Amino acid sequence: MTTAHLKLHQKGIVILDFGSQYNQLIARRIRETGVYSEILPYNTPIQKILEKKPSGIILSGGPSSVYAADAHLISPEIFEVGIPVLGICYGMQLITHLLQGKVAKGKIGEYGKAIFFKDTDHMLLDRVPHQSQVWMSHFDEVTKLPEGFVTLGHTDTCIAAIANDSRQIYATQFHPEVSHTTYGKQILTNFVKNICKTQSNWDLYNYIDQTVYNIKKTVGSQKVILGLSGGVDSSVAAMLIHKAIGDRLTCIFVDTGLLRKDEAQKVMKTYGEHFQINIKHIDASKQFLSALKGVTDPEKKRKIIGRLFIEIFDKQAALIKDAVFLAQGTIYPDIIESQSAKGGPSATIKSHHNVGGLPEKMHLKLLEPLKELFKDEVRKIGLELGIPHHMIMRHPFPGPGLAIRILGEVTPEKVKILQKADAIFIEELYKNNLYDKVSQAFVVLLPVKSVGVMGDERTYEYTAVIRSANTTDFMTAVWSRLPYDFLDKVASRIINEVKGINRVAYDISSKPPATIEWE
């Protein structure tokens, strides 16, 4: 590691993860202030935390109660190492508990928006007005402050912010990382800049240079293989590695035949022709379609596709005899999700079907240049590297592809029908400036035929469903409120232009209880 590279990671903020669903948001908000941040499991040994040389530590929220038998507790030693600490929600209760204050069950709990009243001016609340909206999600509350602490603010039901300046310990009962806390970003900035005195050290432009340098150093004169899917992560990883080692990177692009219309050509044109990346385009559509013949169960489809993908990828990779590294587009959320709040950090390989099993069998070393980045950071880097905006801002596409959007048996005829209908929907979204306003949009083909009439002829054809979802995390989603006139245009174009479809429906289910995909 170079000295310059170290600079990107030192003096950052360490977030100890007690299991809150908002933890990734804390890390992102801190990075938005220009400061590196990293999430570690709550039970990371203090020595390990200190090795990171953090300039501040955040104790996150979490679902447990400090009094529960299985509560996530830590040693109060954390308050003795001379690093400022900010507790959020459970983090505030934990500070109180560990320092001999009192936490008790609230009378009613507090969930959602609340009004925060600032009781006193303080550097943590710099530029926060006397009244502002905050986001709460707690049942327990602090009822007695530990010695040496003062209350900085309250809501109608609880003590909402506390501080002990001489020990540099601070806490909020509300979640500053959530956008519904109007001055949340200001409070996190105050902690990072005013209290931890951190200089900006997280800069994506530097990240590109540093990463390219590191890849060169790690790979030396050896060769790298990468499974390119055309998605954002694998494409940006390919571009970074290509920038570092040029033709010593070989990408393998397995075309399952279950991709969007003209997808393979687009990927080859953008990354192969335009950026001159060395890509092996493997057209395996016949193999996939014949393996899926007669299969209707969604999970079986996924398994068959996953297995075949690995088989084909492995075979192609083995042909590149002297490859030493397998590159993956693993990103930071993949790593965070694989390290549980209870277990230690286990930066395991992304369990994505197109790479599973390969490194062990082939003794390849892993190269994961994006593993410290959030998705929006990967996108920024992609744009900076010159990848066209429309390739970078694409909606996610599932590994099993159209096979799980053709309900029931997948046939070559149905794939063609769906590709055409889907392409019309996506084209209209772009034309009407709606593509970037929805998170994921596609067409689903049902195995249901219904009667229609075209000209003087009776038709008996398939039904297509338009699906469009809005979401931030894909865990929950609402259906997109697309304009009626737009839906009308898409439906009539699909029915008129795609032979095989005579009826179009619009999916108005949210997740949960529905899922975004239909299978």
Residues near ligand XMP, by CB under 6 A: 302, 396, 398-400, 440, 474, 511, 515-517
CA distance 351 to 334: 9
**List of residues 6+ apart from 437 with CB closer than 8 A:** 470, 480
- CB 395 → ligand XMP: shortest distance, Å? 8
Strand partners, 23: none
The alpha-helical segments, DSSP class H, found in 164-230 are: 184-189, 204-219
Q: Which is nearer to ligand XMP, 106 or 298 (CB)?
A: 298
Instruction: Report whether 408 contacts 395 (CB < 8 A).
Output: no
- CB 129 → ligand XMP: shortest distance, Å? 39
- CB 235 → ligand XMP: shortest distance, Å? 15
- CB 377 → ligand XMP: shortest distance, Å? 19
SS3 42: coil
- CB 440 → ligand XMP: shortest distance, Å? 5
Q: Across the chain, how many H-helices and E-strands are there?
A: 16, 18
CA distance 29 to 35: 9
Q: Which two tokens stand for residue 489?
A: 């245009």
Q: Could you say which of 72, 122, 138, 175 is catalytic?
A: 175
Q: Which is nearer to ligand XMP, 106 or 399 (CB)?
A: 399
CA distance 55 to 63: 26
CA distance 464 to 162: 56
- CB 309 → ligand XMP: shortest distance, Å? 11
Active site residue 177: yes
Q: Which is nearer to ligand XMP, 139 or 474 (CB)?
A: 474
Active site residue 409: no
Active site residue 158: no
Tell me the HSE value of 214 on the side-chain side, using a 13 A CA sphere.
18
Q: Which is nearer to ligand XMP, 276 or 515 (CB)?
A: 515
CA distance 21 to 62: 8
Tokens 């209870």, residue located: 342
Q: Which is nearer to ligand XMP, 22 or 309 (CB)?
A: 309
CA distance 211 to 327: 13
Q: Could you say which of 38, 89, 158, 263 is catalytic?
A: 89
- CB 280 → ligand XMP: shortest distance, Å? 21
- CB 401 → ligand XMP: shortest distance, Å? 9
Instruction: Report whether 267 contacts 254 (CB < 8 A).
Output: no
Tokens 């934990």, residue located: 94
Q: Which is nearer to ligand XMP, 170 or 374 (CB)?
A: 374
CA distance 90 to 96: 10
**List of residues 6+ apart from 83 with CB closer than 8 A:** 54, 55, 56, 57, 168, 196
Q: What is the DSSP string of 223-247?
A: EEEEE--SSHHHHHHHHHHHHHHGG
Q: Which is nearer to ligand XMP, 49 or 295 (CB)?
A: 295
- CB 429 → ligand XMP: shortest distance, Å? 16
Helix axis angle for 484-497 and 412-431, nearest 10°, is 140
Instruction: Report whether 461 contacts 450 (CB < 8 A).
Output: yes
Residue type (1 letter), 353: H
Instruction: Report whether 61 contacts 175 (CB < 8 A).
Output: yes
**List of residues 6+ apart from 80 with CB closer than 8 A:** none
Q: Which is nearer to ligand XMP, 199 or 515 (CB)?
A: 515
- CB 259 → ligand XMP: shortest distance, Å? 13
Q: Could you say which of 110, 141, 177, 428 is catalytic?
A: 177
Torsion of CA 59, 61, 67, 72, to 10 degrees: -60
CA-closest candidate to residue 195, choices 167, 160, 224: 167
CA-closest candidate to residue 76, choices 19, 161, 147: 147
CA-closest candidate to residue 425, choices 478, 493, 483: 493
Task: List active site positions.
Answer: 89, 175, 177
